[in-house]
Structure 1
Amino acid sequence: MIHLETALDIPFDLSLLEQAARAALDHQSADGDLTLVLADDEQLRRLNRDYLGVDAPTDVLSFPASETDPETGAPYLGDILLSVSRAAEQARAASHPLADEARLLVVHGVLHLLGHDHAEADEKAKMWKAQGEILDGLGVRGIKSRRDDMIVTIRRARQIIPKG
């Protein structure tokens, strides 16, 4: 199940994001529940600072989990938080619809939840290939991640923040 949380007024059909998440899971032959949280720049900036030590806004954060959803018994994959304002800025800059940018970020976030990363060239090539195939399947073409530094994962956070 894809859980969606937002208190923001979103100018497109939110089911597009659920479809994007489901398409990414299907492409990777994965099953499980996850939560998509649509937030603003300040919320993501705060989380970026608190969890990764980076005091700057970002477009998407993925927080993998390895739990079982008590409501469904399904594996709980984690949370994806998306900055709608950052996505809107990026969509305007790239001259494509906000819904397409948001779907890109959701697909990217789901791939991170499933263990993909782009820290190394070979990992990036695999992730970008999967991302492109998923977006093509959704009818979203000619759009791709442009800024590696804007996407962070808990795996990277664990490397940055000492355990203690």
Structure 2
Amino acid sequence: MTVHFDCDELIQLPFDYEKLICSVIEETLDYENCPYETEVNVVLTNNKEIQMVNKEFRDMDKPTDVLSFPMLEYDRPSNFEDFEEAYDCFHPETGELLLGDIMISVERASEQAKEYGHSLEREIAFLTAHSMLHLCGYDHMEDEERVVMEQKQRDILEILGITRE
């Protein structure tokens, strides 16, 4: 698994965010039975930057906590069999499945951690799991989909021992 990080130089986190995010990405892929080595890009930014991207791609002129940009289209979530013959879904040099990009506003995550009464570490882990499920083809537009995603997020964080303390 390759995870490329782009972190705004002004962002200071009191924990090893790369280790945390990589562990959540890896656990999500294991949980979803992804049979491939993968590549994911992660951008850690602030509210101003994520608001610009949110406006450009979702026509929503406000900051958000996380944005997901999947590279793959699934016929059903986590059906990785669809990509066995699709060579353009794999990095030509590493052979890794290109899942997509995750953009997290650390500023918004910090606000939400305070609001929900848990650590910033837990909030970053949650947002990573949430976004990874999007990269695996899940959505939450309908109630049924939302319930499925929420349970998967809880399961993944529980497996990692990341609680709402």
Query: What TM bracket, shorter-length normalisation?
Result: 0.7 to 0.9
Alignment partners' CA distance in 1, 2:160 and 2:51: 29
Match of 2:71 in 1: 65
Deviates more, 1:26-35 or 1:4-13: 4-13
For structure 2, the residue ranges without an aligned partner over 5 or more in a row are 73-88
* Contact 2:3–2:41 under 8 Å retained in 1: yes
Match of 1:52 in 2: 58
Match of 2:27 in 1: 23
TM-score between the two structures when normalised by the length of structure 2: 0.82
CA RMSD across the alignment = 1.4
> Residue type of the partner of 1:51?
F
CA shift for structure 1 position 93 = 1.1
CA shift for structure 1 position 94 = 1.2
Percent of pairs with identical residues: 37
Alignment partners' CA distance in 1, 2:93 and 2:121: 30
> What does residue range 6-155 of structure 1 map to in structure 2 within 5 Å?
6-7=7-8, 8-14=11-17, 15-30=19-34, 31=36, 32-66=38-72, 67-142=89-164
For structure 1, the residue ranges without an aligned partner over 5 or more in a row are 144-164
CA shift for structure 1 position 89 = 0.4
Instruction: Note if 1:4 corresponds to 2:8.
Output: no
CA shift for structure 1 position 120 = 0.7
SS of 1:88's equivalent in the other structure is helix
CA shift for structure 1 position 10 = 2.0
> Residue type of the partner of 1:90?
Q
Alignment partners' CA distance in 1, 2:160 and 2:120: 15
Alignment partners' CA distance in 2, 1:70 and 1:91: 39
* Contact 2:91–2:98 under 8 Å retained in 1: yes
Alignment partners' CA distance in 1, 2:142 and 2:93: 37
Alignment partners' CA distance in 1, 2:47 and 2:164: 25
Alignment partners' CA distance in 2, 1:70 and 1:88: 37
CA shift for structure 1 position 129 = 1.1
